[in-house]
Chains A and B, each alone.
Chain A
């Protein structure tokens, strides 16, 4: 199986470790992994802010970059959701039926990390070791756009050394919402404050999630609080082993 990683623009530029972890994990499970460098961004920021026209070339780029792979894996529920729910529709709305069909086809082979591991590879124990007290924020788009359900939890429960603690009001939005965090910065901050209170209530030292974007928001707030809780992407936990444990 030719697997490509769609790192997402945020991981490429700001959270390279999440991309490296995704690649390392898939390799450890015995797969050939490629990171095609023609990739950039899924275009979700443009679409969700009201600029669908600007996103159309990015849809074409995504399709052209990834059409030749058997599977595309993204360490992001949000970007996977955009690819699955927005790409074909954008192309269709622009009157490009060929691109819409191609986008639908590539989207059907694009997976969020936990979906790919559990559904496509059929594994829940990926041989990881992570000796920390961890609470998991499920992120809205993984939860509601992709319906990943308990897949991340199944993967985390199989990690050795981990102490997984339930996050109160887990399904509440953290308040990131892309440009919402800027356009409605104060509401976003109020939502973040409640999310952080729930995280701190668990006593966990690590807050994990499957989206670097939500983690950037939550981590930025926790850092400002100097709360001593770090944010870690699901891929980084799953990639950890006894020899590499952070």
Chain B
């Protein structure tokens, strides 16, 4: 039992970007194949989503309802979590609490060992990606097999997911064929890049694993506190196989994934599939409550920076996120860089606000700036998370953290302070603008010094006017 309300130490796992966003984006932008794959895929999902969202006359009310349910849950998270624990326990499940990724991984490894297994099948799960569970299992000599097709492609390709919902979005089918031929034991060497043939190869490969696995590991899209019911949404049926066949099921779930009642699920059953895959209803919705006779069920409740996020009134609504990835698909920055540039398991706009909050902004200081603040993410979010405002809030935290860390202001801070000082003194401002006119004679081309060189690398500067607007006004503007 952990004490909620006391922000935990910073999180661990796959949340900290090893490189700055601009550095990582540089590589992605230079990869023409990746850019094309991403552009095509996001455009397709965007159009599909727009179509099915437009079908619902009450979409805006559903968004508001989703936001309200999640906010209510977060406001009383302690009570609902205890209720969930009681319900799960009463129905034969075992609940474990994990403060961070290390604790969660240790718990899962011990449970798999206790079940006497050295191989587990997995349902695609963001929480287990977040805590780097596969790596922890591998260190303990346990093989974890991803059973979601895209996740399997990523795993076999020794790659990292690039999208919350479509982890292999950055790969096209000929690349997938090559990965299968190289990595998948027993695959037909005559395999073509026909999607159906690729899916069939994966199906045959996975079927053997489903039938032999003793332990399955899943995440959870939702948990119903009043009933102790866990819920997974998926499209391929692999989740259902994992959730029913093995004797032991271990679910790792972030503590924010709750809804209070069964009735609350109704909203998300409509908004999640429409927002994520552009479908009216997702193909497989599996729900389970406690353990069936002869089987074991363990629920690992993961904090990993969530209570710290909850403690920030401006940032906590990021915990409403239902991981639909609608914000990724509409984000112009994500569309050009892909998920790897974000350096965390949570890419795109939601990643740019969630990762720095889970880790503390000092560990992901460039992510809040990885946005042009165009606002498309806010419009697309089915739980109405105001991501642009949150990005701005986190940017101020980053600047404050730098102020505290350095005694002398950064060049940027000095420029901002000087600009603000001048802008608050119209006479100085007018003089400054007049001085800028002199740059007409410098001409406008390439060789400006940093940071302005970032502008002139690809864009000309405008020719300043001969006369500023205020000078014109003083000369003759008052004249009608």
A residues apposed to B, CB below 8 Å: 7, 9, 11-17, 19-20, 23, 27, 35, 37-41, 43, 45-52, 54-55, 57-58, 61, 140-141, 143-145, 171-173, 175-192, 216-217, 219-221, 223-224
* A175 surroundings in chain B (CB, below 8 A): 332, 372
Asked if B7 is at the interface of the complex by the 8 Å CB criterion, the answer is no
The segment out of B136-144, B195-203, B412-420 that lies at the interface is B412-420
* B465 surroundings in chain A (CB, below 8 A): 14-17
Asked if B2 is at the interface of the complex by the 8 Å CB criterion, the answer is no
**Partner among A27, A38, A144, A224 whose Cβ is within 8 Å of the Cβ of B426:** A38
A149 CB to nearest chain B CB (Å): 13
Main SS of the interface on chain B? helix
**Partner among A140, A185, A217, A221 whose Cβ is within 8 Å of the Cβ of B454:** A185
Distance, CA A62 to CA B467, complexed state (A): 23
The chain A residue sitting closest to B331, CB to CB, is A173
**Partner among A12, A37, A54, A140 whose Cβ is within 8 Å of the Cβ of B372:** A140
- Tell me whether B455 and A182 are in contact (CB under 8 A): yes
Asked if B337 is at the interface of the complex by the 8 Å CB criterion, the answer is yes
- Tell me whether B420 and A57 are in contact (CB under 8 A): yes
B333 CB to nearest chain A CB (Å): 6
- Tell me whether A144 and B378 are in contact (CB under 8 A): yes
The chain B residue sitting closest to A175, CB to CB, is B372
Distance, CA A58 to CA B433, complexed state (A): 17
* A17 surroundings in chain B (CB, below 8 A): 465
How many A-B residue pairs have C-beta atoms within 8 angstroms? Tell me: 187
- Tell me whether B398 and A140 are in contact (CB under 8 A): no
Distance, CA A224 to CA B379, complexed state (A): 33
* A23 surroundings in chain B (CB, below 8 A): 477
**Partner among B416, B426, B458 whose Cβ is within 8 Å of the Cβ of A54:** B416
**Partner among B416, B423, B460, B464 whose Cβ is within 8 Å of the Cβ of A9:** B423
B435 CB to nearest chain A CB (Å): 10
Asked if B468 is at the interface of the complex by the 8 Å CB criterion, the answer is yes
* A181 surroundings in chain B (CB, below 8 A): 454-455, 459
**Partner among A57, A173, A221 whose Cβ is within 8 Å of the Cβ of B459:** A221
Closest 8 CB pairs of A and B: A177-B372, A220-B459, A185-B454, A50-B395, A173-B374, A144-B375, A50-B399, A54-B420
Distance, CA A87 to CA B19, complexed state (A): 34
Q: How many residues of B contact A (CB 8 A)?
A: 63
Asked if B451 is at the interface of the complex by the 8 Å CB criterion, the answer is yes
**Partner among A37, A47, A145, A221 whose Cβ is within 8 Å of the Cβ of B375:** A145
Answer whether A184 and B459 are a contact pair too, CB < 8 Å, given A144-B374, A178-B373: no
Asked if B288 is at the interface of the complex by the 8 Å CB criterion, the answer is no
- Tell me whether A13 and B433 are in contact (CB under 8 A): yes
Distance, CA A176 to CA B462, complexed state (A): 14
A114 CB to nearest chain B CB (Å): 18
B117 CB to nearest chain A CB (Å): 44
- Tell me whether A187 and B462 are in contact (CB under 8 A): no
Answer whether A177 and B373 are a contact pair too, CB < 8 Å, given A51-B420, A54-B420, A144-B378: yes
Distance, CA A55 to CA B426, complexed state (A): 15
Distance, CA A184 to CA B23, complexed state (A): 9
Residues B355-403 near A (CB distance < 8 A): 368-376, 378-379, 392, 395-400
* B412 surroundings in chain A (CB, below 8 A): 49
A127 CB to nearest chain B CB (Å): 17
Distance, CA A220 to CA B420, complexed state (A): 25
* A141 surroundings in chain B (CB, below 8 A): 375
* B35 surroundings in chain A (CB, below 8 A): 190
- Tell me whether A7 and B469 are in contact (CB under 8 A): yes
Distance, CA A28 to CA B360, complexed state (A): 55
The chain A residue sitting closest to B412, CB to CB, is A49
B310 CB to nearest chain A CB (Å): 20
- Tell me whether B459 and A172 are in contact (CB under 8 A): no
**Partner among B333, B417, B426, B452 whose Cβ is within 8 Å of the Cβ of A37:** B426
* A220 surroundings in chain B (CB, below 8 A): 455, 458-462
Answer whether A183 and B369 are a contact pair too, CB < 8 Å, given A51-B416, A54-B420, A220-B462: yes
Answer whether A187 and B25 are a contact pair too, CB < 8 Å, given A37-B473, A50-B398: yes
Answer whether A187 and B420 are a contact pair too, CB < 8 Å, given A16-B469, A223-B460: no
* B454 surroundings in chain A (CB, below 8 A): 181-183, 185
Distance, CA A217 to CA B458, complexed state (A): 10
Distance, CA A183 to CA B333, complexed state (A): 13
- Tell me whether B372 and A173 are in contact (CB under 8 A): yes
Interface centre among A14, A20, A41, A177 (most CB of B within 10 A): A14
Asked if B336 is at the interface of the complex by the 8 Å CB criterion, the answer is yes
Distance, CA A141 to CA B375, complexed state (A): 8
* B470 surroundings in chain A (CB, below 8 A): 7, 12, 35, 37
The chain A residue sitting closest to B426, CB to CB, is A38
**Partner among B370, B458, B469 whose Cβ is within 8 Å of the Cβ of A185:** B458
- Tell me whether B451 and A180 are in contact (CB under 8 A): no
Q: List 7 A-B contacts (CB under 8 A).
A: A12-B468, A45-B419, A46-B419, A54-B416, A172-B332, A184-B25, A224-B459
B353 CB to nearest chain A CB (Å): 14
* A192 surroundings in chain B (CB, below 8 A): 458-459
* B430 surroundings in chain A (CB, below 8 A): 37
* A219 surroundings in chain B (CB, below 8 A): 460, 462
* B477 surroundings in chain A (CB, below 8 A): 20, 23, 35
- Tell me whether A217 and B469 are in contact (CB under 8 A): no
- Tell me whether A40 and B462 are in contact (CB under 8 A): no
